[in-house]
A and B are shown apart, each in its own frame.
Chain A
Amino acid sequence: MKNRVLMQGNEACVEGAIKAGMRFFAGYPITPSTEIAEQSAVRLPQVGGHFIQMEDEIASMAAIIGASAVGTKSMTATSGPGFSLKQENIGYACMTEIPCVIVDVQRSGPSTGLPTSPSQSDVMQARWGTHGDHSIIAISPSSVQECYHLAIRAFNLAEKYRTPVIFLMDEIVGHLREGIEIDDDENIEIIERKMKQRPDTLHLPYHVCEGEDVPRFHLTGYDIRYNITGLAHGADGFPTNNNEIAGQLVTRLMQKIEHNVDDIVQVEEKYCDDAETVIVCYGGTTRCVMSAVEELRAKGKKVGYFRPITIWPFPEKQLKALSEKVKNIIVAEHNYGQILLEVQRIVKNCKIGFVGKVDGTVIMPKEIVKAVEEVK
């Protein structure tokens, strides 16, 4: 039986995380993500987990990596300025392949910007925020229901691919209250970390089995002692200056995501079958596009929308296929044009339009309608 409740996006994210097995949260107050810390503080000790308010954003990121390294599914939440501060340690989690979930409830920037206003201007920071070549997964929910379900998915992907996952929310969904359905447990897939089986690999924390892309786990803090380092390292986990090993490591970090794009990427397409114009949108912006598309369809316009649910890796294949069927693509996002760059890179044979906002206000359905109607 499904239980329908009113919940805020930020709260639903916490409930999803707990359902996925989160038992540690470290955070620092920042608008518009603070409710995630508040709800975690209430809920975690109720389920035997731990919450801590750290002294800063950097420490919060460090603490969740520490907790995850010893086997506890962990999460932190922040917004633009805090997300910037966390980047170095996100890179550490990438390099050491320690699963964790980082929620970024985006707000207007740069710098302190408009702290309570919606934005989607951290999309590129989510991809390239930390230094060095690395892979990352980012998912963006567009409803309170998705804040719940996709938070579970974020944890699952983090565990499966041993990577930080950015849960890229925005103020629109973070502060939105809607009714959501909480599933029974049996309907939810929870992925746990894959543990090492072969005795000869137990002491090699980064040994990868034949035919696999991701090293299996043996947790820090149990019977086998090993080392974790952010320095380039071989299968044994110890620092190395060997260029060949360093090159293999970075290549594998990239490929473990590249090889599994089909498993990771999710998109939503609506009214795209006969569409002449397709709007590319994601996160909270989708809600505006949904209304606009309904309005345009009612007027007989052949318009649909394409929504990357997985932002990184970007659904390149799906967008390319779609672009071969339609004439026009309009990108709608709450920034100066970030996913627009991806679309311009991928789409070669359509006219590409753009509706963006950088003033902290929300894109209105009429602005989308106008953009579509103006397409020649």
Chain B
Amino acid sequence: MASELITKYMREEHLPHIWCPGCGHGILMRDVAQAVKNLGIDQEKVCLVSGIGCASRAAGYMDFQTMHTTHGRAIAFATGVKMARPDLEVIVIAGDGDCAAIGGNHLIHAARRNIGITVIVFNNDIYGMTGGQYSPTTPTGEFGTTAPYGNIDRPFDIAVLAAAAGASYVAKGTAYHATQTIKLIENGIKHKGFALIDCAGICATYYGRKNKKGSAVDMMKFQRDNTITVEQAKSLPREEREGKFILGKLVENDFPEFTDEYQKIIDRLKEGK
């Protein structure tokens, strides 16, 4: 029998999903459902906004209020939703290209404002939907269909980018470490201000094949064997951190949340001040 995560939090009639066999997105989507379930939030109170790309298809499968929007703009749509309905838990699911390339500007400014949105990045280092082009998180030297001679771009660390832009909760998870990642997503949703959880995914079909990473299982094993915690990462010299997946919370603080601050203006004007 299907678990409650499927029957209650997924739209069964729209499954199976379109993701390839071995794709990490299914695991990450399940993590999001589990986190919401653990928090006991009403499904009606969750507005899930996504953009375009493989990850963004999650909006169609998850049984929340869902908006599947335009490429890169999910955070901007979500900003409008949150301002109009601050009582909703607004969650954005975005891929690495959606969130850090075409949507990079919205990401940093939402982080700067510290608006109460939770962004969960399904980060598989590649544009999957369009067939394997390099993304802003593809490591230098790796291959994609548009990097046939090796990628000469330097990659973004999306979590570090969000933290630098002012996000008040930032964490990194992985597809392999589901238990820890669920907890990090839970904490991100609970967090009052802007939260981002950058989750390392797996794209065996394009990234794996282009870069000779083996099967999806091989890639999962690689993720398992090459992940270190945030604390471990701090004590390691830079060259030893290279190529490692990092797991854990990077930032948490209580910067004022944007819609709260705006409400204060409305209240002040109501009192005639």
Contacts and interface: CB of A to CB of B under 8 A. Distances in A.
Nearest to A66: B80
A69 interface: yes
A254 interface: no
Contacts, number: 133
A66 B76 contact: yes
Interface string A48-89: 101010111011101111111111101000000000000011
Contacts of B79: 26, 52, 54, 59, 62-63, 66
A228 B85 CA distance: 17
A46 to B, nearest CB: 5
B80 A227 contact: no
Contacts of B66: 225-228
Interface stretch (B56-64, B201-209, B227-235): B56-64
Interface in B139-168: none
A197 B67 CA distance: 23
A24 B65 contact: no
A50 B269 CA distance: 13
Interface stretch (B41-49, B172-180, B218-226): B41-49
B266 A62 contact: no
Contact of B67 (A26, A60, A69, A72): A69
Given A65-B69, A66-B81, 18 more contacts: A46-B269, A50-B262, A55-B108, A55-B109, A58-B73, A59-B76, A62-B70, A66-B49, A66-B79, A66-B84, A68-B84, A71-B84, A88-B70, A220-B65, A221-B81, A228-B67, A229-B60, A230-B68
Interface of A: 23-24, 26, 45-46, 48, 50, 52, 54-56, 58-60, 62-72, 74, 88-89, 92, 220-231, 238-239
28 contacts: A45-B266, A50-B84, A50-B262, A54-B76, A55-B76, A55-B109, A58-B73, A58-B76, A62-B77, A62-B106, A63-B79, A65-B69, A66-B67, A66-B69, A66-B77, A69-B67, A70-B47, A70-B81, A71-B85, A88-B70, A89-B73, A220-B67, A221-B47, A222-B44, A223-B44, A227-B60, A228-B68, A231-B68
